[in-house]
Amino acid sequence: MRSVDRRVDRALHERPPVKRTQDLRGKVVVITGASSGLGRAAALEFARRGSKVVLAARREDDLEEVARLCREAGGDALVVPTDVTDEQAVRALAEHALSLTGRIDVWVNNAGVTAFGRLDEGSFDVHRRVIETNVFGAMYGARAVLPVFERQHAGVLIDVSSVLGRVGQPYVPSYVVSKFAIRGLSETLRTALADEPGIHVCTLLPYAFDSAHFESGANRVGLDPHAMPPMQSPEKVARALVSLAVRPRRQLHVPRYAALGIALHALMPETVERAILHLVREWHFGHERQPRTRGNLYEAPDQKGAMHGHRPARTSLPGMLAWAAGHFAKQLVSPSARRASLRPHAAT
C-alpha cells in the first residue's frame, strides 16, 4: 500500500494544478472551419481575449482575412489551410500549432457541412461526405491533439455538436447523424481521460444561427433552406463557445432554454417528433427554386467567406408557434388534414 501511495503522491506532484478557469491571453487555440460562420466568430472572440489562434479551413484567402481581423482585435493568428477529411493534414495542423509555443491549450472541432434532402432520395455520396467531414474530421482532430494534451496534462477540447445532436430532423439526416456521433465522441473521450483532471472535453450544442450554412450546403430538395426560428447570431454562439475554454463544462446548450425542448421530447417523444415534422415541412424551405447541387461538400464555396448568411428565418418564433397552434387544432377537428404530404412542396 505504501508503494501505491508513493506513486500516487509522485504523480500528483508531477502534474500542474488543475485550473477550473483560465486566462486566455497567450493561449494557443486551434479552430477548424475558421473561415466563416461560427468558426470565424470564435476566432475573433478568442483574439479579443489575447489568444494565439490557429485558423484552419480549405480557403487560404478567407483565412488570411480572418487572421488580419484577429490581429486587429488584439490577438495573434497563424493560417494553416486544412481539409479535415485528410488525417495527415490534420496532424500537420497540430504540428503547426505546436510551433508557436510548444503547446496547444484549446482545440475546437468546428468544421462541418450539411446536405438538405431526405435519406431515401438522391445519391448516397452526399451523406457519406457529410459524415467524412463532420465525424471523421472531429475524430482526426481528437487523435492529433490528445497526445499533446496528455503530455501537458492539460488542455480543452471543444466539440461543436448541435441541438440536432439530441433531437432528429427529417431533411438533414446525415447532419443529424453526424451531430449525434460528435456527442458520442465527446462521451467516449471523457471516459478515456477520466484519470486526467486537467484535460477537459466539452460539447457545444447550439440551436440554429445566422450563417451561410443554409446557402452552401448540398441541396437535394430543390428549394431554398432557411433556419428555423429563433435564429441566433454567430457572435452569441461564439461567446458561449469561448466560455467553455475559460470555464470548461461537459456540455452547453445555446440558448440555454433549448434544453427545455429536449426535455419535452424525452417526456412526449411522439408528439414532439410529429410537431417537428410539420413545422420543418412548413417553415424550413422557401418557394424559390434551387439547383440540386453538392454545395461545399467537396470544394470550398465560390463565395467569399463571411460570418453571416443572407437567408433570414421565414417567420418569427411567435409567428411559428401561432401557426403550429392553428395547424394542430385544425388537425384535431379534421382527420383528413392529417393525410397532408410529408414532404415540402415541390418547386415548380
Beta strand 52-56 with 76-79 is: parallel
Distance CA 184, CA 120 (A): 25
Q: What's the CA angle centered on 77, arms 72 and 82, to 5 degrees?
A: 135
Look at phi and psi of residue 37 and say left if phi exceeds 0, alpha if psi is from -120 to 50, else beta: left
Q: Which residue of the set 175, 207, 257, 298 is catalytic? A: 175
Cell of 247: 470555464
- Does residue 175 have an active-site annotation? yes
- Residue environment code for 4-37, b if the CB has 16+ CB neighbours within 10 A, otherwise e: eeeeeeeeeeeeeeeeeeeebeebbbbbbbbbbb
For residue 53, list its beta bridge partners: 29, 77
Sign of CA dihedral 334, 342, 286, 269: positive
Distance CA 11, CA 332 (A): 65
Distance CA 175, CA 288 (A): 23
Give the H/E segment covering residue 246. helix 234-246
Catalytic residue numbers?
Answer: 175
